[in-house]
Chain A
Amino acid sequence: MFSIGVFNVSEIVLPGNKISEEPMRLPGTYVMGSATYASVVGIYDKEHKQFIPLEGLWQPKENDRVIGRIASRHLGSYIVDLNSPYKGIIITKFEHARLETGDIIEATVREFKELDDAMVVMLTRPKKLYGGLLLDIKPSKVLRVIGRGNTMINQITEYTKSTIIVGLNGTIWIKGGNVSLASEAVKVIEQEAHISGLTEKIKHMLEEKSGANRSQKEGV
C-alpha cells in the first residue's frame, strides 16, 4: 500500500542506483550479483525495506478493476484500449455484453496471458459506462488517488458529488457533479503523490472550490 512519510526529494533514487547490498524481490528493482538496484525512479524506505516507485507501468493482476475503451470488434471478441502496452480482450461468448467501438467500459482482469505471441489482458464482467469523461494518469499514482482505506477518493466524491471509478490501469472515469473540480483534484494528486500532507491539502482545495460552485454544479 502506498504509505509515504515525510521524505526529502534528495532521497530519490534513479535507475541503476544501488539500494541494498542484499538481494531483494521488490517491484521496480532488479538484482545483480548479490545487490539490489532501482530500475525506475523511486524512493527506498530503508526502515520498512520497501521500494516506492515514483514512475512505473501497470503490471496487470487478476481481479484488477480497469477502465478502457472498445477499440474494435471482431467475430467473437472485442479489443479494448487500456492505455497500456497490453490490449484488453473480451470474449463475447463468455461475457454477454453488447458493446460498440468507442464505448467506455469498466471491467475486471480475469487473466494476464500470452496469446498469439503477445501478452494480453483477458477481461471479464464488462459494464458500459454512459457519458462522462476519461482521464489518464500514471498508473504509479493510482493508489494515491484512492488513498489508504479509500480516504482520498471518498473526499473527492463527497465535495464534488461526482461518480468516479478509478481503474488500476491508470484510467479514471468521472461523471456528473463538479467534473472539472474532480479532474483538478486528480491532477494535483498525480503531481504531488509523493508529498506528505496531500490528503489535507486536497481537502482544503475541495472545500474552497466547491463552496463557490456547489449551487451551480450539483447533479447532472
Chain B
Amino acid sequence: MQIKAVSREYLEELFNKGERVDGRGFMDYRSISITPGVIPHAEGSADVTIGNTRVLVGVKMDIGEPMPDKPNEGTLTTSAELLPLANADYEEGPPSPEAIEFARVVDRGIRAAEVIDTEALFIEKDKVWNVYVDIYVLNYDGNLFDAGTLSSVTALLTSRMPKLEGEEIIREGSLPRLKTKGIVTSCTFAKIGNSIVLDPNGNEEAFMNARLTVANDKEYIRAMQKGLSGSFTEKEIERLIDASFEKSNLLRSSIESAIKKYKGD
C-alpha cells in the first residue's frame, strides 16, 4: 500500500494543527536504519533507509594520479545514480541535474569535514589512491540528501584500505581500515507554504517550494545547499542551522552504533 497523494488542503489542514500525514512532528525523522558492510566486494559499503527511502553506497579504491592542484593527496569522486527501479518517474540515461546536484552536495559535506585523510592516500610522486563513492538510490520516498550522506559516511568509516604489493593491489585478507579524520551528517528541510519540516517524505516533497540541506559536524557547518525556486528568510535559515546541530547528535550516534554493531560481528 502506498499513500499515493495528499491533497494540498489536507496537508495544510494538518500543518495548521502542527501535524504531518504520517503523524510525525515537524522536526522528527522517520525511522532510520544503517547497515554497513553489505557489499563485501567493495572496499566499503552501507545500506541506509529513512522511512521508505533506501540508498546503497559502495566505496572502491584504485591507484591513479592526483589532482594537479593537490599533488600530495589522494582523490575523492562522488557519484549518484537515481536508478530507474527506485521510482516510476526515474528514467535510464546519463545523470540528470537532480542526480548531479545530489552527488555534489553529499561530496561537499564529506570533503569539507575531511572525513577521509587524503594525505594518507599519497603513495609517491604522481601515484595516489583514488576513492570512489557511488550512491545507488534503490527506492525513492523523499530526502535523498540525508540518506546519501549517512550511507556515504558510514561506508567510508567502515572501508578497508587495500594494500599495494609491487604493482598488485591486494583487496582481500587482513587489511587495515581506511584512515578517516572527521564525521559529517546532514539535515534537509522542506518549506511547504509557510511551514518548514525536517526529512520530507515523497508526498511532502511533491508540495515543497524550497529546500535547505545543512551538513555539519560537532563544531562547524560544513556545507549548505538551498534548492528549488522558493525562498527562505535569514531568520529561518538560522533557525534551521540550529536545528541541524541539534539533530546531528542523533544522526552521529546512529552511525556510531551501527558501526559498533558491525565491528562486533
| A131 and B4 contacting across the interface, CB-CB below 8 Å | no
| Neighbouring B residues of A191 by C-beta, 8 Å | 1
| Neighbouring B residues of A132 by C-beta, 8 Å | 7, 10
From residue B20, how far is it (CB to closest CB) to chain A in Å?
10
Question: Nearest residue in B to A186 (C-beta to C-beta)?
Answer: B1
Q: How far is the CA of A175 from the CA of B1 in the complex (A)?
A: 17
From residue A23, how far is it (CB to closest CB) to chain B in Å?
36
8 Å CB contacts to B: which residues of A162-220?
Answer: 171, 175, 180, 183, 186-187, 190-191, 220
* From B1, B2, B10, contact of A131 by CB (8 A): B10
- Is B6 positioned at the interface, with any CB of A under 8 Å from its CB? yes
* From B1, B5, B6, contact of A187 by CB (8 A): B1
* From A135, A175, A187, A220, contact of B4 by CB (8 A): A135
| A136 and B10 contacting across the interface, CB-CB below 8 Å | no
- Is A161 positioned at the interface, with any CB of B under 8 Å from its CB? no
Across the A-B interface, how many residue pairs have beta carbons closer than 8 Å? Answer: 41
- Is A134 positioned at the interface, with any CB of B under 8 Å from its CB? yes
Question: Nearest residue in B to A187 (C-beta to C-beta)?
Answer: B1
| B7 and A130 contacting across the interface, CB-CB below 8 Å | yes
- Which residues of B come within 8 Å of A, CB atoms? 1-7, 9-10, 13, 21-23
Known: A104-B7, A133-B7. 7 other contacts (CB 8 A): A130-B9, A135-B3, A135-B4, A136-B1, A180-B23, A191-B1, A220-B13
* 27 A-B contacts (beta carbon < 8 Å): A83-B4, A104-B5, A130-B7, A131-B7, A131-B9, A131-B10, A132-B7, A132-B10, A133-B5, A133-B6, A133-B7, A133-B10, A133-B21, A134-B3, A134-B4, A134-B6, A135-B1, A135-B3, A136-B2, A137-B1, A171-B4, A175-B10, A180-B22, A180-B23, A186-B1, A187-B1, A191-B1
